[in-house]
Amino acid sequence: MYYLLFCFFYLLSLIPWPIIYLISSCIAFVLQHIFRYRKKVLEENINGAFPNLSKRDKQVIINQFYVRFTDNFIELLKLLSISKKGIKKRFEINFPVCYPYLNEGKSVQVMSAHFFNWEYLNICGGATFKYCNLLGIYMPIENKYFERLMKHIRERFHSKMLSAWKVLKIYHTCDQGNFVLGVIADQNPTNPKTSFWLPFLGRMTAFTQGPERIAKRYNNIVLFADIYRKKRGYYKCTLTLVTDNPKEMARGALTVQVVNMIQTAIYTKPSNYLWSHKRWKLQYDPIQYKDNTLTPLSSV
C-alpha cells in the first residue's frame, strides 16, 4: 500500500510548477467557498488576535490564508522530487550565521513556528549541512502510510526526524555530537499541567517546555527563524540570535523571548501563519497553573 501511495504522489510531484499552482488555487477556492474548511476556527483565531482590525481587513487575511495554506501542502508534494539546487533557489536563508558556532563544536537550535512554508526550512537545511547532525523534532501522523511518506520527504537530504513522543531517543541522538536542531515551537501541548502559560495573540496560551529544556541541557546556540513568502513559490528565512547561553537564563525566559518573536512575526505578516490550527483547545486556569504562568516580555 505504501509503495502505491508513494508512486502516486511522486508522479504528482513531477507536474510543472505553474500547473501545480493552478491546481492549488482551485483547491483553495473549493475549501473556502464550498467546504468552508475550518471557517469558524479561522474567524475565532483571527478575531482574537486582531480585535481592532476591520471586518474587511480580516477577510483579506482569510482570503490570502486559504491560498497559502493549499500552496503549503502542494509544495510539500513537490519536495518528493525537487533537487538540492531547486530547493536552494526557492528558499533563501542566512545559514552562514550558524557556521562559526558549529566550527567551535557548539550545537545550534533553530526555533520557528507554523509560518508558510515551514517544511522548506528542514529540507533546505538537509541540502546545506553535510558535516554535522541535522535533526528535526516533529509530531507523528496517525496514519502509518502517510507518516512513512512524510518522514521520507523530510529526511531526503541528510536530515533525521525525531518523534516528539520519544524524548529519550531525542536525548540519545543529541548526545552523539554537535548538531543543528529544528523545532516548531508553537505546537499544541498535550498536558496543560506541565506546560508554560503566557499571553499569545490575545489570550493565555500553553507552550511545551521541551524546546527550552533541550536548549538548556546542551546549552545550544538558539536562533529564531522568521519565514515568509517573497512571491508565490519563493520564500525567505532570516535567522536571528536569541541567546548563546540558555543555561544562564531564568526558567521560562527563553520561551517568553521566542514566543514574543513569533507573535511579532505574525502581527507583521498575518496571512503567513497557520490560522486553521486549533491552537487554543486547552483552557487556562490561573490558580491551577500559576507556577507555570510566565510574565510576557513587554512587562518584564
Range of the domain at 94: 85-299
| Contact in structure between 195 and 275 (CB atoms under 8 Å) | no
Mean pLDDT of the chain: 94
Residue 158 region by backbone torsions, left for phi larger than 0, else alpha for psi between -120 and 50, else beta: left
Q: How many whole angstroms separate alpha carbon 284 and alpha carbon 199?
A: 10
Inside any domain, residue 47: no
**pLDDT, average across residues 114-136:** 90
Contact (CB, 8 A) for 255 and 211: yes
Find the helix or strand (DSSP H, E) in which 227 lies: strand 221-231
Nearest Cα to Cα of residue 182 among 227, 141, 143: 227
Number of domains observed in the structure of the chain: 1
CA distance 122 to 180: 10
Q: Is the per-residue pLDDT at 6 higher than 50? A: yes
| Residue pLDDT, tens place only, 55-104 | 999 999 999 999 999 999 999 999 999 999 999 999 999 999 999 999 99
Say if residue 298's pLDDT is above 70. no
Instruction: State pLDDT tens for residues 218-247.
Output: 999 999 999 999 999 999 999 999 999 999
Average pLDDT, integer, range 258-280:
96
Q: Is 191 exposed, middle or buried (0-12, 13-18, 19+ CB in 10 A)?
A: exposed
Note whether residue 207 is domain-resident.
yes
Question: Hey, what amino acid is at 230?
Answer: K
CB of 214 closer than 8 Å to CB of 109: yes
Rounded average pLDDT over 8-22: 96
119 occurs within a structural domain:
yes
Note the pLDDT of residue 245.
97
Q: Is residue 131 over pLDDT 80? A: no
pLDDT for the residue 173: 85
The tens digit of pLDDT for each residue in 139-185 reads 899 999 999 999 999 999 988 999 988 877 888 888 888 999 999 99
Predicted TM-score of the model (pTM)? 0.94
Is residue 102, in this structure, part of any structural domain at all?
yes
* Overall average pLDDT of the 276-295 stretch: 94
Report d(CA 54, CA 188) in Å as an integer: 28
Domain membership flag for residue 168? yes
CATH number for the domain spanning 277: value is: 3.40.1130
- What count of residues does the chain have? 300
Q: How confident is the model at residue 130 (pLDDT cuts 50, 70, 90)?
A: confident
Rounded Cα distance, 170 and 162, in Å: 6
d(CA 95, CA 140): 27
Q: Coil, strand, or helix at residue 160?
A: strand
Q: Is residue 26 part of a domain?
A: no
Mean pLDDT of 262-280: 96
Pick from 192, 186, 182: which is nearest to 215 by CA?
182
pLDDT at 299 over 50: no
Domain-located, residue 230: yes
**Residue 300 pLDDT greater than 50, yes or no:** no
CB atoms within 10 A of CB 71: 21
| Residue percentage of the chain with pLDDT more than 90 | 86
Residue 117 pLDDT exceeds 90: yes
Judge whether 10 lies within some domain.
Answer: no
Q: What is the distance, to the nearest Å, from the Cα of residue 211 to the centroid of all Cα atoms in its chain?
A: 13
DSSP 273: B
Q: Answer whether residue 212 shows pLDDT above 90.
A: yes
- Under 8 Å between Cβ of 164 and 187: yes
